[in-house]
Amino acid sequence: MIDSAELLGRSIDQIPTPALLVDLEVFESNLRRLAAFCQAHQVAWRPHTKAHKSPHIARLQLEAGACGITCAKLSEAELMAEHGIGDILIANQIVTPAKLLRLAQLQRRAKVMVAVDNIQAVPLLRDAAQRAHARIPLLIEVDIGMKRCGVQPGLEALELARSICQAPELILRGLMGYEGHVLTLRPPEAKSAACAQALNLLITTRDLLLSHGLPVETISAGGTGSYQLTATHPGITEIQAGGGIFMDAMYRQVFSVTDLDYALTILTTVTSRQSTHVVVDAGFKTMSAFHHPPQVLGREDLKLRYLSAEHGVFEIEAGPGPQIGELVQFVAGYSDSTTFLHDFFLGMRQGKVEQVWEILGRGKLY
Amino acid sequence: MIDSAELLGRSIDQIPTPALLVDLEVFESNLRRLAAFCQAHQVAWRPHTKAHKSPHIARLQLEAGACGITCAKLSEAELMAEHGIGDILIANQIVTPAKLLRLAQLQRRAKVMVAVDNIQAVPLLRDAAQRAHARIPLLIEVDIGMKRCGVQPGLEALELARSICQAPELILRGLMGYEGHVLTLRPPEAKSAACAQALNLLITTRDLLLSHGLPVETISAGGTGSYQLTATHPGITEIQAGGGIFMDAMYRQVFSVTDLDYALTILTTVTSRQSTHVVVDAGFKTMSAFHHPPQVLGREDLKLRYLSAEHGVFEIEAGPGPQIGELVQFVAGYSDSTTFLHDFFLGMRQGKVEQVWEILGRGKLY
């Protein structure tokens, strides 16, 4: 069995496929651009780590200027804290006593905020904090139009905020929202208007809480698909855009993100060749077509027919098509639904493997 | 961070969610039924391990009577061989010198057959075998109508067989085909006829090879979606049906497999509750809707709206719906696109965790 560390220094044609490659020049450029954009607009950058699940990449984001990171899961946050990451937002709800106790205990290692969207969770949070002799910092998640999680803007948020502020074990840090429902809107003016409308629900809710003497330091929102709009919206204090370090075909083609470049590719080998199609050694267990299909890189003759578990089947649209053994590389369709399928990233520079980054958060679902 | 071994002995309400559960009574019954069916019809059972990727479960299959196992990837086969599995079919093509050398070297640890469907691969296979001082056993993959991999039945297979038999380093074991294109056909008579037609292409090709004095001991075919048809087809010597040990909603509802029971579920917790819907802590990174959605178990009031990465969003169709913190369990939509998302199975008996089986083959893509 190949140990991933053995791959250091190898050229692209010596890498066992399929493999998940990061072009380090492009990655570093995306990282700098995201950090610089946030800095220029005086908004903090708390990138979501769901698209990489790697403590090493989290560290690179912090070094580039991120104020902390965002996670989806408690076990991801535990992993990141174990690797020395000190400021974490869990942008999902935690509602069971056993997990809340873990969350409270984790406060000894790191500042770990969590999203809350139900007043019934408040006594559970208090109880866990008491048992761990800790205080738990919270962001109230507000539904700003996506209709997934979150209390309603305005009075429902106010009621929850009051309940939190009555609990000495809890610290209300502010509000969180996700404008996921505006990402695909076109033309740009429509997207921009819808984004502003959604974010204003956070701002008016903030004002309501402030007018009642309740603290709202932090207003967190925004993924890569709207980061330029969200980071420049007055009152937003931090954005969660994470996947932009890799970029992908969905961000470019569906969400119209044009200022970042493709850093993430999947390297495959043609293993079977038929008269009309070829098969590569990467199916849906290697490169997801969910929510967007991977894009063939650097050649025009292949079109995705379908992905089965371990076969990627591509129509030969013109010419002879690739031979068996030939490498075919793909831009990730959606980085977030691709990277978590792998155990490691291979960081490439000048055609050679310079870095191997393990995806240690993979499988940390609980 | 929770170590999976800590979960032994816990009752279902003490398991951190989301979690992948196996009902051991049902699993063992499915295992016995598949093995007994094959035995009764004098066909060998070489279950595909793609739906579990666990050397422990492979061992249970061998103990139940399997003749060996099937893998998709060389690195999976290497893992299984390291764990003492001695008879493996890699039911995919391997075509690059570095991997072929690994395959040849692996013959020291286990008998590892591989599929071949291109005459250009023969000199590469020979070269690898020579370098490793090994012989490599092969099955010729024949396209029996699925139009994915495989040489054409008849003369193209004959030509490849001759080329293999001229190479002393290679051992032609027989033929392999996959009747994946017939699985969804209805009514049962249409499926049965199409399956027989597909499998007959293997049999006529076998007869052609035999008439030219070429050896064909093994004819391997068949997944869970057609296992009763394939195992009883005259001339088929072994079947690869693997996922049937778990069963899932797709096998039942789309492929009309009715004689096996649901053993595989996903345990989740409601983390957010809104007026029209609830959100559970399992999205597409935990339970895939590809190719078939997960099914709510034991309640009628919830309907899948969508899965995002870590949120499962369910419409409340009737009544008050579940509260936050409430457990909701799902039957896997498609076992093969679900299990590989997890690090371990929790084997449940009488409501308690009796077994923790690590999914060690997860990520073994290369």
Q: Do residues B351 and B344 lie in contact, with contact meaning Cβ atoms separated by under 8 Å? A: no
The per-residue pLDDT for A2 is: 84
Q: Note the Cα B179 to chain centre separation in Å.
A: 14
**Burial label, A320 (beta-carbon count in 10 A; 0-12, 13-18, 19+):** exposed
Task: Report the predicted TM-score, pTM, of the whole model to 2 decimal places.
Answer: 0.98
Say which of B2, B121, B324 has its CB closest to residue A121.
B324
Chain B residue at shortest CA distance from A72: B310
Q: How far apart are CA A130 and CA A112, in angstroms?
A: 16
Please tell me the distance from the alpha carbon of residue B156 to that of residue A148, in angstroms, as a whole number.
Answer: 55
Contact at 8 Å (CB) between B37 and B273? Answer: no
Of B14, B118, B272, the CB nearest to A149: B272
The two structure tokens encoding residue A93: 């709800």
Asked whether the beta carbons of residue B342 and residue A324 sit closer than 8 angstroms, the reply is no
Rounded to 5°, angle at Cα A40 from A38 and A41:
65
Q: What is the pLDDT confidence band of residue A217, given thresholds at 50, 70 and 90? A: very high
Are residues B95 and A269, on separate chains, in Cβ contact within 8 Å? yes
Q: What is d(CA B178, CA B221) in angstroms, rounded to the nearest whole number?
A: 5
d(CA B341, CA A211): 46
Which residues have CB under 8 Å from B363's CB, separation 6+? A341, A342, A343, A362
Q: What is the three-state SS of chain B?
A: CCCHHHHCCCEHHHCCCCEEEEEHHHHHHHHHHHHHHHHHCCCEECCECCCCCCHHHHHHHHHCCCCCEEECCHHHHHHHHHCCCCEEEEEEECCCHHHHHHHHHHCCCCEEEEEECCCCHHHHHHHHHHHHCCCEEEEEEECCCCCCCCECCCHHHHHHHHHHHCCCCEEEEEEECCCHHHCCCCCHHHHHHHHHHHHHHHHHHHHHHHHCCCCCCEEEECCHHHHHHHHCCCCCCEECCCHHHCCCHHHHHCCCCCCCCCCEEEEEEEEEECCCEEEECCCCCCCCCCCCCCEECCCCCEEEEEECCCCEEEEECCCCCCCCCCEEEEECCCHHHCHHHCCEEEEEECCEEEEEEECCCCCCCC
Please give the Cα distance from B157 to B144 (Å, whole number). 12
CA distance B276 to chain A (A): 9
Structure tokens at B215: 């050896």
Contact, B39 vs B281, CB < 8 A?
no
- Measured CA to CA, the distance from residue A218 to residue A231 in angstroms comes to 13
Distance CA A360, CA B117 (A): 37
Picking from B72, B79, B34, the residue whose alpha carbon sits closest to that of residue B359 is B79
Q: Give pLDDT, residue B1.
A: 79
Find chain A residues with C-beta within 8 A of B92's C-beta.
271, 281, 310-311
The whole-number average pLDDT for the span A314-319 is: 97
Provide, as residue numbers in chain A, all residues whose Cβ is less than 8 Å from the Cβ of B99: 16
Are B237 and B43 a contacting pair, CB within 8 Å? Answer: yes
Q: What is the dihedral of CA A219, A222, A228, A232, to 10 degrees?
A: -10
For B180, which residue in chain A has the nearest alpha carbon?
A308
Give Rg (Cα) of chain B.
Answer: 22
Kindly determine whether residue A366 and residue B95, on different chains, have CB atoms separated by under 8 Å: no
ipTM of the complex as predicted: 0.97
A146 vs A127: CA distance, rounded Å = 31
Averaged pLDDT score across all residues of chain A: 97
Q: What is the pLDDT along chain B (366 residues), one digit of tens a residue?
A: 789 999 999 999 999 999 999 999 999 999 999 999 999 999 999 999 999 999 999 999 999 999 999 999 999 999 999 999 999 999 999 999 999 999 999 999 999 999 999 999 999 999 999 999 999 999 999 999 999 999 999 999 999 999 999 999 999 999 999 999 999 999 999 999 999 999 999 999 999 999 999 999 999 999 999 999 999 999 999 999 999 999 999 999 999 999 999 999 999 999 999 999 999 999 999 999 988 999 999 999 999 999 999 999 999 999 999 999 999 999 999 999 999 999 999 999 999 999 999 999 999 999
Q: Where are the beta strands (DSSP E) in A24-65?
A: 44-45
Neighbours of B356 (CB within 10 A): 17
The two most distant CA atoms of chain B are separated, in Å, by 72
The pLDDT, as a whole number, for residue A356 is 98
Do B21 and B346 form a contact (C-beta atoms < 8 A)?
yes
**What local confidence, expressed as pLDDT, does residue A15 receive?**
98
Residue A302 and residue A29: Cα distance in Å, rounded? Answer: 29
Q: Which of B18, B50, B341 sits opposite A309 (nearest CB)?
A: B50
- Which pLDDT band, with edges at 50, 70 and 90, does A159 fall under? very high
- Chosen for mutation from B120, B271, B280, B307 (greatest number of chain A CBs closer than 10 Å) is B271
A94: amino acid identity, one letter:
I
State the Cα–Cα distance between residues B260 and B276, nearest whole angstrom: 35
- Dihedral sign from CA coordinates of B120, B123, B125, B128: negative
- Among candidate residues B41, B59, B33, the one with its CA nearest the CA of residue B238: B41
Domains and CATH numbers, chain B: 4-21+259-358 (2.40.37.20), 24-246 (3.20.20.10)
- The answer, yes or no, to whether residue A1 has pLDDT greater than 90, is no
Estimate the crossing angle of helix A74-82 against helix A97-106, to 10 degrees: 20
| Cα A244 from chain centre | 8
CA angle A202–A206–A211, rounded 5-degree value: 150
Of B143, B269, B311, which has the smallest distance from its Cβ to A95's Cβ? Answer: B269
pLDDT digits (tens, 9 = 90+) for A261-274: 999 999 999 999 99
SS3 (DSSP) at A34? helix
Say if residues B330 and B268 touch (Cβ distance below 8 Å).
yes
Write down the residue that tokens 């840090």 correspond to.
A173
End-to-end CA separation in angstroms for chain B: 29
Kindly give, in sequence order, each residue whose CB lies less than 8 Å from that of residue A252, ignoring residues fewer than 6 positions away. A258, A262
Q: How far is CA B348 from CA B15, B21, B263, B264, B337, in A?
A: 11, 7, 10, 10, 21
Residues of chain A found within 8 Å of residue B124, distances taken between Cβ atoms: 325
What is the bridge-based pairing of β-strands B277-280 and B312-316?
antiparallel
Residue numbers in B near A82 (CB within 8 A): 1
Name the minimum distance, in Å, from the CA of B101 to any CA of chain A: 12
Interface test with B, best of A269, A281, A358 (most B CBs within 10 A): A281
Digit-coded pLDDT (tens) for A54-96: 999 999 999 999 999 999 999 999 999 999 999 999 999 999 9
